[in-house]
Amino acid sequence: MASAKLTITTRTSSAKTSILDIRGEVTGTAERILMDAYHKATEDGAQAIILNFSGLEYMNSSGIGLLVTMLIRTQRHKQRLLAYGLSDHYRQIFDLTQLDKAIGIHVSEAAALAAAG
């Protein structure tokens, strides 16, 4: 299996909010990295996970599938998934796939943090 060209840094914004800074490519090879970051972000009880896509270089349909998996996990745990930093191209994809209806899309980190509460 090819190695993922992805790094995710997890930041804690507050006791209830974590931010995942995504850098690189979100493809099928990124599953372990993405899910490890999710677990790290939520291990201390975060109820809102914010995905920072400003460092996203590429995402394919398998990557979208991984986001859906993460979305399902957050919903099962009564958590919220939010995002910011999407390029116009990926905003359009989120719109076409209707992910923007399930994941709160925001224009900035400050806006996402405000929405997270």
Among residues 80, 39, 79, 87, the alpha carbon closest in space to that of 59 is found at 87
Dmax over Cα atoms in the chain, in whole Å?
40
Domain spanning 6-116: which CATH class is it, in words? alpha beta
Asked whether residue 2 carries a pLDDT value surpassing 80, the answer given is no
Asked whether residue 52 carries a pLDDT value surpassing 60, the answer given is yes
Q: Rg of the chain's alpha carbons, rounded to an integer?
A: 13
Q: Which residues contact 14 (CB under 8 A, 6 or more apart)?
A: none
pLDDT one-digit tens code per residue, 62-114: 999 999 999 999 999 999 999 999 999 999 999 999 999 999 999 999 999 99
What DSSP element (H or E) covers 2? none
pLDDT one-digit tens code per residue, 14-40: 889 999 999 999 999 999 999 999 999
Residue type, 64: I
